[in-house]
Amino acid sequence: MSLLKVMCVAGARPNFMKIAPLMEELERQQGIRPVLVHTGQHYDKAMSKLFFEELGIPAPHFNLEVGSASHAVQTARIMERFEDVLVKENPNLVIVVGDVNSTFGCALTAVKLKIAVAHVEAGLRSFDRTMPEEINRVLTDAISDFLFTTERCAETNLLREGIPQDKIYFVGNVMVDTLLKHKAKADVSNISLRLGIDKKSYGLVTLHRPSNVECKDTLKSIFYALRELSSKVLIIFPCHPRTQEKIREYNLEYLVNSDERKVKEGWINLIAPLGYLDFLKLMTEAKVVLTDSGGIQEETTILGIPCITMRNNTERPVTVLEGTNTLVGTEKNRIVEKASEVLNGYIPTGRRPELWDGRASERIVRVLMELLKR
């Protein structure tokens, strides 16, 4: 029997944690030849190369090197360059993960060439069409042949949108596969020692969504909240260069300390972006996490760390209903109020969501092997 060629696509930082266990599981299978495509949507060392090294992801067979650009230009580059790869390789299946431009761009290109597409992390909905990720989610699901979901409500969303039941498979969360596999390795990271901080002495911040960092009033509101909280707990903020540019543009530098050699109380302490293991270590030992990231809502739920999500909606409602996540919006007083509750001793009691057990990639590959052999 000839080998079945399965092409996996990764492009941006959140994709790497999702593609790692899938590639590992595919490589275990006889009769499967996995091919990895990196679109290059994230391409610097901290965002890409370091993640590949830490997660044991094999070197990509193809790197499209699309780089940064507007949504339209970036997606067009992805499609143009990915089409050349598909024509050359002619895979039996393309697997896309998450909700970035690479996800939709590669899915659409494959479908146009009559190549089957599997979407991992299908059906998640914020119901906010102003989010570029929401557009990518809806459109990718609409054209995919196989849809793998992480939580029960995702299936409800897909059925409501007219996706046939027999295309949907509830398998769990591949992000959790990666977290559980690498947690012990992250536990020995010396990032806390390097920063001079103690366990449960700090709040960890991430902030990257355009609706938060590219709107002056919103970013100011969040920063004023973080500055007020910094009088109660150390604030550690691994900050992307693009966000730092906005801090300068909006004249918020007086609120931050950018000297990583000396973390200060009463400041928003900016540090450079971190690799997966260092960040996981900081997240595991944080007193509270304040974020606008979808993936971090999931990871804190598994770790049992209180999470304050600075958004008006979430596409991962299970983290609120069953996990340790609290949705607070972006208004200063609300952020301070809810974070202060945690700092004063209120720890939300969550539970591990169904099938978030570290075996989602096994289930996905088992289903795909059955489907591809028909």
At 290 the pLDDT is 98
**Residue 104, Ramachandran bin (φ over 0: left; ψ between -120 and 50: alpha; else beta):** alpha
At 59 the pLDDT is 93
Q: Considering the candidates 38, 71, 208, 240, report the single residue annotated as catalytic.
A: 208
> What homologous superfamily does CATH list for 4-172+356-372?
Glycogen Phosphorylase B; (3.40.50.2000)
At 43 the pLDDT is 62
The dihedrals phi and psi of 35, each to the nearest 5 degrees, come to -125, 125
> Domain 183-343 adopts which CATH fold?
Rossmann fold (3.40.50)
Pair 331, 348: CB distance under 8 Å: no
Spell out the residues 6+ positions from residue 306 whose beta carbon is closer than 8 angstroms to its own.
Answer: 287, 288, 289, 300, 324, 326, 342, 347, 348
At 47 the pLDDT is 61
- Which segments in the chain show pLDDT lower than 70? 1, 42-47
d(CA 18, CA 57): 11
List pLDDT tens digits, range 231-273.
999 999 999 888 999 999 999 999 999 998 899 999 999 999 9
Residue ranges, CATH 3.40.50.2000, the chain: 4-172+356-372, 183-343
- How is residue 342 annotated by DSSP? H
Exposed / middle / buried, residue 313 (Cβ in 10 Å: 0-12, 13-18, 19+): middle
At 373 the pLDDT is 80
At 260 the pLDDT is 87
Residue of 192, 90, 99 lying closest to 139 (CA atoms) = 99
208 is catalytic: yes
At 44 the pLDDT is 65
d(CA 47, CA 216): 25
Q: What is the dihedral of CA 6, 10, 11, 16, to 10 degrees?
A: -170
Coarse DSSP helix, strand, coil percentages of the chain, rounded to the nearest 5 percent: 50, 15, 35
